[in-house]
């Protein structure tokens, strides 16, 4: 199925998010356009930023309900955006969904500990991203915090299992 056909079939579903604002912070133009297109067809009001500095300038004026954040950007990366959000808290807190090519569990734990509610790796289907955004937005601030801590614990447990010494299966 082509991206256009997937967008059209996904867009045919009734959506009611016309007042929900999403900020997409992504330096890759093609990825950013696809994400924005899917979110717009899902009824979200979407603004985009191509780097962290642009995002920091847009956030106070746009007041997004959720941020989709890439980590690897220049000159200001996603880590700096997370740090800025922590230094400039919003009420209610802005949920951040990290969408990045970084797949290491240690990075995922760090991203969640830095304030992200969720962490997805690229490539992913845009419709899955939209589903995850819907799920996050349905949660209260308290439920998002619980989800964040649960995800941190899950990633830490995975890291511990990977780092744990494995018994030598060839010893008798």
Cα Rg of the chain (Å, integer): 17
Phi, psi angle pair for 121, to nearest 5° = -105, 150
Q: What is the DSSP letter of 64?
A: -
- Contact indicator for 125, 153 with CB cutoff of 8 Å: no
CA-CA distance, 40 to 17, in Å (whole number)? 9
Q: Which residues contact 38 (CB under 8 A, 6 or more apart)?
A: 7, 10, 126, 127, 129, 130
Q: What is the DSSP letter of 92?
A: S
The helix/strand/coil state of 47 is strand
Which tokens sit at 80? 């700096």
pLDDT reading at 120 higher than 50: yes
CA-CA distance, 55 to 48, in Å (whole number)? 8
CA-CA distance, 117 to 114, in Å (whole number)? 9
What percent of the residues of the chain are helix, what percent strand, and what percent coil, each to the nearest 5? 50, 15, 35
Q: What is the DSSP letter of 12?
A: T
Domain architecture of the chain: domains with CATH: 18-163 (3.40.50.2300)
Q: Which residues contact 22 (CB under 8 A, 6 or more apart)?
A: 39, 44, 45, 46, 47, 64, 65, 66, 67, 68, 133
pLDDT tier for residue 169 given thresholds of 50, 70 and 90: low
Q: To which H or E segment does residue 22 belong?
A: strand 21-25
The helix/strand/coil state of 21 is strand
pLDDT in tens, 77-105: 999 999 999 999 887 889 999 999 998 88
pLDDT reading at 15 higher than 70: no
Q: Please state, rounded to an integer, the average pLDDT across all residues of the chain.
A: 86
pLDDT in tens, 34-68: 999 999 999 999 999 999 999 999 999 999 999 99
């Amino acid at each position: 199925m082509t991206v256009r056909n997937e967008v059209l079939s996904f867009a045919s579903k009734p959506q009611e998010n016309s007042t929900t604002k999403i900020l997409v912070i992504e330096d890759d133009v093609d990825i950013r356009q696809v994400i924005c297109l899917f979110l717009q067809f899902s009824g979200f009001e979407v603004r985009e930023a191509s780097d962290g500095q642009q995002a920091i300038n847009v956030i106070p004026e746009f007041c997004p309900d959720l941020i989709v954040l890439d980590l690897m950007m220049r000159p200001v990366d996603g880590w700096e955006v997370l740090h800025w959000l922590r230094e400039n808290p919003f009420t209610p807190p802005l949920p951040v969904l990290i969408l990045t090519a970084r797949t290491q569990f240690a990075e995922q734990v760090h991203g969640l500990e830095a304030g992200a509610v969720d962490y997805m790796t690229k490539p992913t289907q845009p419709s899955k991203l939209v589903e995850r955004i819907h799920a996050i937005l349905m949660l209260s601030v308290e439920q998002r915090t619980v989800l964040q801590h649960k995800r941190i614990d899950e990633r830490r447990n995975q890291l511990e299992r990977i780092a744990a010494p494995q018994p030598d299966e060839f010893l008798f």
